Amino acid sequence: MSHSVKIKTKFKNKRLLLSTFENLGWKIVENQKCTTYPSDPSRNDVHQYVALNPSPRGYDVGIDINSDGEAVFTCDFFDSSIARQLGQNLKNVKQNYSLTELKQFMNEEDLNYQIETLKTGELKIIATK
């Protein structure tokens, strides 16, 4: 049986978070319900933002930002298209968000940097003045 899970994490820049989903090919809409498994109780929850799955019949990701600035993602990983596109537990979203923030910082600090993707999918970043 399939059901949605909630993943909570802190993001300081809501605009960057939403654009990260868009850069990964997911359209963002506001105040909407997620497409998920038909009997999923969270199917009727309205979310501040919904990242619409570009895969036909794929499940969406609900995004709510609480008063502490924590993003709460609601999604059903039983739909493997989410993990395939966004990584297990939204790893690609977290990684792309962090990398964009880091690049902005390194540019502001006038640092030279190199980014290498390791076989594990992890990033190796070397910054120099």
Answer whether 89's CB lies under 8 Å from 97's CB. no
Distance of CA 60 to the CA centre of its chain: 11
Does pLDDT of 70 surpass 90?
no
Q: Greater confidence, 29 or 122?
A: 29
Backbone angles phi, psi at 45, to 5 degrees: -75, 135
* Residue 126 domain flag: no
Q: What pLDDT does 6 receive?
A: 53
Q: What pLDDT does 4 receive?
A: 52
Q: What pLDDT does 1 receive?
A: 43
pLDDT band at 114 (very low <50, low <70, confident <90, very high): very high
* Count of structural domains within the chain: 1
Expressed as residue numbers, the domain containing 60 is: 5-95
Q: What pLDDT does 9 receive?
A: 58
Distance CA 105, CA 109 (A): 6
Task: Give me the chain's average pLDDT, please.
Answer: 88
What is the value of pTM for the model shown? 0.82
* Residue 14 domain flag: yes
* Residue 75 domain flag: yes
Please write the tens of the pLDDT for every residue from 98-108.
Answer: 889 889 988 99
Q: Can you list the positions of beta strands (E) in the chain? A: 5-10, 27-33, 46-52, 61-65, 70-75, 112-117, 123-128
* Residue 87 domain flag: yes
* Residue 122 domain flag: no
